[in-house]
Structure 1
Amino acid sequence: MNDNKNMLLAIVLSAMVLIGWSLLSDTFFPTAGPQTQQVDNGKVKPLPQPQADPGADTPRAIRNRDVVLAESPRVGIETPRLEGSINLKGARIDDLVLVEQRESIAKDSPAVRLLSPAGTPQAYFAQFGWTGQGIATPGPDTLWTASSQTLAPGKPVTLSWSNPTGQRFELILSIDDGYLFSVKQRVVNQGTGAVGLRSYGLASRSEKSADPSTWTQHVGPISFLGGKADYGVDWETLDENKAGVTRDSRGGWLGFTDKYWLTALVPADGAPIEASLRKSASGAYQADYAGAPFIVAPGQAVSGDTRLFAGAKEKRLLDTYEDAGVTKLSKSIDWGWFEWFMRPIFDLLNWLFKVTGNFGVAIICLTFIVRLLMFPIADKGFRSMAGMRRVQPKMKALQERYKDDKQRLQQEMLKLYQTEKINPASGCLPILLQIPVFYALYKVLMVSVEMRHQPFALWIKDLSAPDPLTPVNLFGLLDFTPPGFLAIGVLPILLGVTMWLQFKLNPQQMDPVQQQIFGFMPWILMFVMAPFAAGLQLYWVVSNILTIAQQKWLYYRYDHEMNPPTEPVVSKK
């Protein structure tokens, strides 16, 4: 009867863990991105990823993008990483494609589109200009004149427009081979009187990002103003607060971030600005800033520098731009609380990837390095667990002798631990020390564009997505896709099996309820880990295999140290 109660309690606790995790994981520990591949009839096929294109034509389209792009004269943009154009009507940077990033893992997949002109669904653009009283300034309908037809690295373009009172406005645009636009806003006063102006920059997007924003991963409005990164302002903040959020700062940056992409306005470092994030009357979300007022005397010219980042959040480039004066642009990656630890993990993993040429192999190498660094601690832990295994008969005898006196039992077991020099808690230390590494790798896989769509081997074509191969549909031979909670891939199954083997090697728990919980735990974790990135599953499986091998070897060595083989006695005749 008591055993039945224990079994029932173990089942209830296991179910609570499984259900509770399902309810909380999306909020606190979001799983991998959408599945990018599926196994159909034994073959891996890429899945389309239309949500990666914020300007895709849909039935909700106001007009076809190609039609809108053809309506006004444009200056082309050509760099190793970017293609697109600048609209001369309004001088808007509103057509931008990331040529090195693809929507899906298919070979013929189109490039990811970041910016799209007004008049298309999910319009997204950046614009720079001036405001002033009693003076005509360029606006969204102003038609600018370009000095060249193409903007490319080392080939700047000057956009110019003059008003009827003799003021000429110029935007001198240049771009590097990454994702950074430099904009010099220049005003030449050829009129008869002084004029007062303020320069501004804005980024506008008509809809929210398709990427979810979670507790551990910020998506939406973002800024680094007043010396601090702000992840607290989200889409809902701007929906509820009609006035938006306004801050004064000296330099910094602000804009919008998706999971992997960023559009950020970067005023001149140290320049006083009034920055705001808000929802405009049209329903679009807008990040903008205005500089300090200035006066342009007759016959004089005044200019100011600003920049625009529009592209993928590649850590190496972000760090390079920080060195070039863009304050803390790498904070656009939501590293979380363990940033100090995650950055070295990322750098090591990225270096291993460059050396091996395969991200999955890099994860395996990282696992070996972590296990090697932790070997001295693991050695002590496994020695303690081996000692626990050796004294289990004595512990069972004590339990039988003092089964009616719990306090005396605890005292006698403590004496046994001291006599045998065993620390029952030391076996937990290697597991606890792996948690920061595991979490760091989890975050790296979740937020780093460098890891996006990276293949490993065989059926795993995207380590940032869940394992697509599952026995539920006979590994793709049956023509149906199982629901997410049943799509248990091969890697999660291996994770459960290796964890079960690992638990079997550990000293058996004295409490029958704990025994049953540990018996269920590997299979619960198999379901819990199934939606996570395959790269994370790979790390855990390889770590479990190394732990099993390490346990077997250390137990064997420890048993021989404690019980050395006796030499056979040779009889003398």
Structure 2
Amino acid sequence: MDSNKRLILTVGISLAIFLGYQWTMTTFFPAPAPHPTASTEIKEAPGSGDVVPALHERSADEAGNEGDAVPAGDEGTVVAAALPQREVTLRTDDLLLGFSSHGAGLFKAELLGRKGQRQGGTDAPQVDLAGALQPSDPLLFEATTGEGLPVLGNRAPCSVAGSDERSVTFLCDAPGLQLEKKFTVTGARTLDLQMVLHNRGAVPLAGTLGLLMPARVDPARQVSSRGCAGFGGAPPQPTQNICRADDKISRSLYHADKPSVTPEGRAWFAGIEERYFLAVAVPDQASACELVAETPEFLTTHLNTKVATIAPGASQTVRYQLVIGPKDIGLLQDASASIASSTGLPNPKLDETVDLGFWAVIARILLWLLRAAHHVIANWGVAIILLTVAVKLLTLPLAWKSMKSMEEMRKLAPEIAKLKEKFGSDREKLNLETMKLYQQHKVNPLGGCLPMLIQMPIWLALYATLQTSVELYNEPFIAGWISDLTSKDPYYALPLAMGVTMYITQKMQPMQMEAAQQKVMLYFMPIFFTFIMLQLPAGLTLYIFTNNLLSIGQQMALRKSMGIPAIGAPPPAASSATIEVAPAKKPGKKK
């Protein structure tokens, strides 16, 4: 078999394996059904204005057992029943934050606006990065103590020491220790958290102060909707622990044999993330992080800070900058720069939480071009079309060389046929003479593949961009048709149109294969790619469809300028540059 036949056989076997895997995973390993998780039933405190806090007091009976974990005993310890739960609601343009005095943390971190909405249309719920926590779980940004410091119990009852339109302060008591926590809104998606430890006892205190960032996991979103991530199924949107320790970002999911991961080095930020959203804390002093997955449905990120010895009657302050919201690269860069400026610390590089994969360099360039186009025309679908045009113009010289190389190959087809006839099964001699023919006519047999090889990294980078960049998340192209460019086309119109234009493009390209092989490639490739694109983001399909249209027009123009005959015209007669090949000698007997 020649190389073309081997290529077709390889692609065919790969497709068969792919389809078999799809069928096996769909039939025998269906995606788990969404797991209903019990959330704390806390009545949302009413509020007015953008950032006006509202307080709501509940009795110990209403609060249930949330305060049972508070240690009892020494003087100064507050009994849970004596501190009813109080809630404070703060609102910014982009966040609705609900704080509870039992735990002194967030029971609600709801993202507002279209960017904060789950995929699924106008009726989809808003993203709440703390809303699925159970009564036994710690709250988001709840504090914990250890290694010598008096213990603060889970959901420890605290008091609301004060609140205003942009801040709330809690006081939490343990034997010999009082923790003062003050949350202050500093931006639409950022807060400052100041924790002051007051030594109320008679002996020095030292130990570890921790900040917890828990998350309840929806198993249905951890895996593909059809058992195969990416091709043939909606990709997963997992919830993960995340920490940047030194220069490395670590992420963690549940693994039965390794329930916790402790990255080495100083933690510059840590928290929880989804594909498009995050809630992280940036410490102002040397800290370490631990990523814990206690069960498949519950993750906790610990950000631990060593507390130097606090003398009796003295205090020590630890501060964190909190970022909650969508993983918009531009906004995360601005937040990182602001944090570095206000704290004097190195830039935490929060924008690197956007994982663009192997082709990140190209993906960032594409995203920059998309953002630039979007500034001109406020439609991300049109921006993708403009990006396609720009890429096509940049690759036009390569396309011209490719077309010229393929046309030269087409002209040499009769000569190659003669060589095959002369040398028959002598593959080594045939390959040698064929290469001589290519060198004589200065033809590169791989020249026609170059534009495709250059396009593939762009496609892969754009795929990563569409899958991870929140800029395109929930962004429509045409109302009533494509409401989210990061989701599949609900009517499959774009994949089918892409398949038709790919067929036309294949038809227009000069082929050097045998007739049967040409027919297989002509129909197989468009059908194969159409099948793949059915479940992939509409934005990626729009890019390839637009690229195909431009390729058709480009090929028509190039064929005309180069004087290439119409499609289907017979190859020209052998040129005067035909190689004279001596007849092969018949093997004789040795004397």
Note whether the superposition's TM-score is higher than 0.5: yes
CA separation of 1:371 and 1:120: change in aligned 2, threshold 3 A: farther
- Work out the percentage of aligned pairs sharing the same amino acid: 27
TM-fit CA distance, 1:341: 2.1
CA contact (8 A) 2:105 2:139 kept: no
AA paired with 2:482? Answer: I
CA separation of 1:279 and 1:418: change in aligned 2, threshold 3 A: closer
TM-fit CA distance, 1:73: 1.0
CA distance in 2 between counterparts of 1:462 and 1:76 reads 31
CA contact (8 A) 2:105 2:142 kept: yes
Alignment of 1:93-492 (within 5 A): 93-100=106-113, 101-104=116-119, 106-116=121-131, 118-119=133-134, 125-131=140-146, 133=148, 135=150, 137=152, 140-148=155-163, 150=165, 155-162=166-173, 165=176, 167-189=177-199, 192-207=202-217, 210-212=220-222, 219-231=239-251, 233-236=252-255, 239-242=256-259, 244-268=260-284, 271-280=285-294, 284-323=298-337, 324-325=339-340, 327-403=348-424, 405-457=426-478, 459-469=481-491, 489-492=492-495
CA contact (8 A) 1:383 1:555 kept: no
AA paired with 1:541? Answer: F
Report the secondary structure of 1:532's partner residue. Answer: coil
Structure 1, 277-286 or 552-561: larger mean CA deviation: 277-286
TM-fit CA distance, 1:23: 6.2
CA separation of 1:102 and 1:122: change in aligned 2, threshold 3 A: farther
Structure 1, 102-111 or 355-364: larger mean CA deviation: 102-111
Correspondent of 1:532 among 536, 542, 555 = 536
CA separation of 1:169 and 1:556: change in aligned 2, threshold 3 A: same
TM-fit CA distance, 1:134: 7.2
- 1:88 equivalent in alignment to 2:101: yes
Deviations 1:513-568 (A, max 9, x none): 6424412222121112211111111111111111121122112211279xxxxxxx
CA distance in 2 between counterparts of 1:128 and 1:62 reads 20
CA separation of 1:123 and 1:536: change in aligned 2, threshold 3 A: farther
CA separation of 1:24 and 1:558: change in aligned 2, threshold 3 A: farther
TM-fit CA distance, 1:81: 0.8
Deviations 1:169-197 (A, max 9, x none): 21121123333222111123465543334
CA distance in 2 between counterparts of 1:134 and 1:337 reads 44
CA separation of 1:191 and 1:332: change in aligned 2, threshold 3 A: same
CA separation of 1:24 and 1:554: change in aligned 2, threshold 3 A: farther
AA paired with 2:500? Answer: V
Q: Name the Cα RMSD after superposition.
A: 3.5
CA contact (8 A) 1:221 1:235 kept: no
Structure 1, 128-137 or 300-309: larger mean CA deviation: 128-137
CA distance in 1 between counterparts of 2:404 and 2:438 reads 13
TM-fit CA distance, 1:12: 6.5
CA distance in 2 between counterparts of 1:418 and 1:135 reads 82
Report the secondary structure of 1:114's partner residue. Answer: coil
CA contact (8 A) 1:209 1:258 kept: no
CA distance in 2 between counterparts of 1:138 and 1:431 reads 60
Alignment of 1:32-43 (within 5 A): none
CA contact (8 A) 1:138 1:161 kept: no
CA distance in 1 between counterparts of 2:543 and 2:214 reads 40
CA separation of 1:508 and 1:89: change in aligned 2, threshold 3 A: same
CA distance in 1 between counterparts of 2:505 and 2:367 reads 28
State the TM-score, normalizing by the size of structure 2: 0.75
2:67 maps to what in 1?
none
Question: Structure 2: which 5+ residue stretches go unaligned?
Answer: 24-30, 46-55, 64-84, 224-228, 341-346, 566-591
Deviations 1:185-232 (A, max 9, x none): 11234655433343210112233564336699875222211321124x
CA separation of 1:390 and 1:346: change in aligned 2, threshold 3 A: same
State the TM-score, normalizing by the size of structure 1: 0.77
CA separation of 1:328 and 1:67: change in aligned 2, threshold 3 A: closer
Report the secondary structure of 1:293's partner residue. Answer: strand
Deviations 1:241-274 (A, max 9, x none): 35x2224532322222212121223222xx3334
CA contact (8 A) 2:262 2:289 kept: yes
Alignment of 1:16-27 (within 5 A): 16-22=13-19
Question: Structure 1: which 5+ residue stretches go unaligned?
Answer: 27-33, 35-49, 52-57, 470-488, 562-573
CA contact (8 A) 1:129 1:185 kept: no
CA contact (8 A) 1:279 1:285 kept: yes
CA distance in 1 between counterparts of 2:502 and 2:155 reads 61
Report the secondary structure of 1:428's partner residue. Answer: helix
CA separation of 1:109 and 1:134: change in aligned 2, threshold 3 A: closer
